[in-house]
Structure 1
Amino acid sequence: MIQGSHKAIAGASRRDPLEAEIEKSLLQQGGLRFSPVMERKYIHDTIEHRFGTYRVLFWFAVFLFNLFAISDYVLTPDIYPVAWFFRFALATPVMIAAMALASRQRFRRYIIHLLTLLFFMGGASLLLLAVLSSAPNAGHSYTGVALVILFAAIVIRIPFWHAVALCGGLFLLHLLIFPWFQMPTDLIVHSALVVFSVAVISLLGNYRIEREFRRAYLRALKMKIDARQLEGLNRQLEEMAVSDPLTGLFNRRHFDAHLDAEWRSAVREQLSISLIFIDIDHFKLYNDNHGHQAGDLCLKQIADTLTENVHRPGDACVRYGGEEFVVLLANTNMDQALYVAQKIQSHLQALAIPHGYSPVAGEVTVSMGVASMVPDRDDTPEDLLEKADKSLYRAKDAGRNRICVDGLPC
């Protein structure tokens, strides 16, 4: 039941704290890092996706790395056995072991650092082999370094600042070992320009890719928050469509549908169904003299009393009119319904809400009419409503502040 749980629509639109962080990050047109809170969430939310991509492309990278064993044989025939030993017996097993380690959940967060290190070691090994060889074409290994940079920054798409570290490290290493390259000066200058240009182009591409990836993540996250807020708003609108704004009890519209459903079930299963009609005695006098604010508070207190005493899934507490309430009791006979009515009356008396203008008592009282039926197919819900309504009017005619039961004297 929704009893007493009515909330204003504005409550559904309360701003998610994360939404402000998202909007702030979206305004940072050139930034590649969020606030600490957003950055932690971004890493947490995307690490599995990144790892899945890395795991697939890793085997492609291993394949290409070993494919260049052909270049070892062609460009550095004097040391190709050493190069092959390094590729197949050292580098490849290390790469596979590193990826296996990163596959463990506890090491997953280090995979970016691990991949950056592996790519640097791959590029550095190409330069080292070129230095070790005395073959005239050994210096052409710079093409391999360029491919390492491209693959890491554009295909694998390691984060931008890791790509900067990789490109900067390999380019500096390239410059440092130039004196040991056995090739013409013009080719040395050309290779440096090629590696530098590839590094710059790769970093520009990597920057744009990561920036768009991060912004797409923010937009998707904001869409999830908007969808969640819309769902909450729709849920509250549905509640408002079936509940009374002041008391939070079901309204008459919902009562009609609920009574119809319970009535059909009672006919089908031949079960008792009961109604309690409740009317606040001389409520107009209370409102006129104590004020509408006090009147609203009184209605809320009575509504709370009803929900405290009626809480089975098939039951319903309803604000039927201004000061009228209805309690629907499914699978409940007359004796049980009378017990519930007496319990409600006892709790209301305990509240002792002052009513100095009531001819009945010095506190707020109610009159109740109770009716119960085991309906058959010829009966209608209106029959039960009429019985309960007549019982209520008998209670009011008998002096109010009492319970009258259908078929019995008050």
Structure 2
Amino acid sequence: MISGLTRPPEALTNVGVSTIDSLLNKRLGLLRLPAPLESRFMRDHTTRRLNVTMASGVVVAFLYNWILVADAVMIPDQFDLAVMLRMFVFTPVTLLLLLMVSRLPLVWLREGMIMFSGLLAAGISTYLCVISQHPNAGPYLVSLAVVVVFSNTVARIRFGLALLLDIIVFGVFVWGALQITSAPREVMLPAGVMMLSLSVFTLYGCLTLELDERRTWLIRLRERRLREELMQANAQLNAASRHDPLTDLPNRHHFEDTLATAWQRAQTAGQPLSMILLDLDQFRAYNTSVGQEEGDGCLQRIAAMLRNHVLQPEDFLARYGGEEFALLQAGQNITHAAATAQRIRTGVEALQVPHPLSPTTCLTVSVGVASMRPDAPHATSAQLIAAADEALRQAKQQGGNTVFAFGTDG
């Protein structure tokens, strides 16, 4: 079997489910899809169609010679020529075409080669009948039906090419009938009707098969797009549930998930884990005096300052509440965490955000610091959060703009 002849299909991210639904409602329109879809469809079916073509082509290259049995009966005066044309022209030419088909990169060229093989078979049969002097030569033109049936059903070439092939073959039949003056008209007319009927019936089957093949492919593509859109929607919902849109920081839910993971890692590694909790002093009063929009802008400035001037690559910063931020430091003891907390306090103060109701006339922050070793007996992440929260409360009680720390360097 032939395989590996198609490139990996590119993602059709610009083709939505609604576009596919619209195409599925236009049955005949499926014969020619929009360019990106048509290209993808052809590539997706290239290997399977090529395998069918190669298998059926090899079979017909040899089975076609069985027509010699009919040649011996219907046009015995041309039997020797028939042997030469069928066995030593058609068969090797068809096998050569099959070899070329397996190496051609373009789908339309491969289909064209198959069509050429059918026309060659029709040409040989017509030529033998036209030059024969036997009275059966005219009626024997009906053997062209074999080409029509094979091309439209077994070889399953695309409907457009099948239609063109049938028109040419029927034209060849009419031409041959006119050339054979001895052919009885009372026989040739029904033979022509039979040829035409065979073409119509097999073309209808060819059309139906191709439409069903395209429709099935579109339905599967639609299912894939639905799954992709669902996954994207779920990813967006998941990101939204873990992200604070105002400050562009992870939210409390994300922080707690990260803390649980960091706790397990620190427990395994035997390292300390520190948490810094900070709260803007008298921020509600600030919001009341300057307005919600200005307050939101202030939170964004604080988040940017923390992200750009305080954080280390291994630190995890999140918006913990309304005006609260939380910072997680893995592998850092209380001394290091307290130093970071002092940088945070001085960094916020250095912003010099005017706060008319503050004793310092500018916005300040209170910071609580806690550090624990997760591998210590009975230690839990909930205790670390509680310790950081208590440290923040102590900092607030001392008047704000203060750092208070719980923990040891052990």
Q: Which residue of the partner structure matches residue 366 of structure 1?
A: 365
Cα deviation 1:318-368 (Å, max 9, x = unaligned): 332221121122222334434544555566556x37333341545443222
Point out which structure has higher relative CO (alpha carbons under 8 A, 6+ apart): 1
Structure 1 residue aligned with 2:26: 28
Report the 3-state secondary structure (helix = DSSP H, G, I; strand = E; otherwise coil) of the residue aligned with 1:372.
strand
Structure 1 residues 275 and 105: alpha-carbon distance in aligned structure 2, compared to 1, 3 A threshold: farther
Structure 1: which amino acid aligns with 2:38?
E
CA contact (8 A) 1:275 1:372 kept: yes
TM-score (norm 2): 0.84
Contact 1:21 1:35 in 2 (8 A): no
**What is aligned with 1:57?**
56
Q: How many residues align?
A: 392
- Is 2:221 the partner of 1:221? yes
8 Å contact 1:318–1:327 — kept in the other structure?
Answer: yes
Structure 2 counterparts to residues 38-187 of structure 1, below 5 A? 38-104=37-103, 106-181=105-180, 182-187=182-187
| Structure 2 unmatched runs, 5+ | 1-12
CA contact (8 A) 2:281 2:363 kept: yes
- Give 1:150 deviation, angstroms: 1.7
1:285 corresponds to = 285
Equivalent residue for 1:9?
none
Deviates more, 1:134-143 or 1:228-237: 134-143
Taking a change above 3 Å as real, the CA distance of residues 75 and 256 of structure 1, as seen in their structure-2 partners, is same
Residues 26-35 or 245-254, more deviating: 245-254
Taking a change above 3 Å as real, the CA distance of residues 67 and 332 of structure 1, as seen in their structure-2 partners, is farther
Asked whether the equivalents of residues 244 and 251 of structure 2 are also in contact (C-alpha less than 8 Å), the reply is: yes
Q: How far apart are 1:176 and its partner, in Å?
A: 0.9
Counterpart secondary structure, 1:400: coil
Q: Which residue of 2 aligns with 1:382?
A: 382
Partner of 1:265: 265
Q: In structure 2, what residue type is equivalent to 1:77?
A: P
Q: 1:185 and 1:239, CA in 2 relative to 1: closer, same or farther beyond 3 A?
A: same
Aligned ranges for residues 184-203 of structure 1 at < 5 Å? 184-203=184-203
Q: Which moved more, 1:172-181 or 1:256-265?
A: 256-265
Shift of 1:175: 0.6
Give me the whole-angstrom Cα distance separating, in 2, the residues matched to 1:259 and 1:118. 71
Task: Give percent identity, aligned residues only.
Answer: 29
The offset of 1:310, in angstroms, is 4.2
Deviation at 1:312, TM superposition (A): 4.6
TM-score of the superposition, structure 1-length normalised? 0.84
Which amino acid is the alignment partner of residue 142 of structure 1?
L
Could you say what the CA RMSD is over the residues aligned between the two structures, in angstroms? Answer: 2.9
Which residue of structure 2 lines up, in the alignment, with residue 400 of structure 1?
Answer: 400
Structure 1, residues 77-131: CA drift from partner, whole Å, max 9, x if none?
3322322222222222222222222222534442122212221222222111222
Q: Distance in 1 between matches of 2:231 and 2:73?
A: 65
User: Is the 1:367–1:400 Cα contact (8 Å) retained in structure 2?
Assistant: yes
Alignment check: 8 A CA contact 2:276 2:369 kept? yes
Q: Are the equivalent residues in 2 in contact too, given 1:154–1:205 (CA < 8 A)?
A: yes
Unaligned runs of 5+ in 1: 1-14
Q: Which amino acid aligns with 1:111?
A: R
Does the C-alpha gap of structure 1 residues 195 and 395 become closer, same or farther in structure 2, counting only changes over 3 Å? same
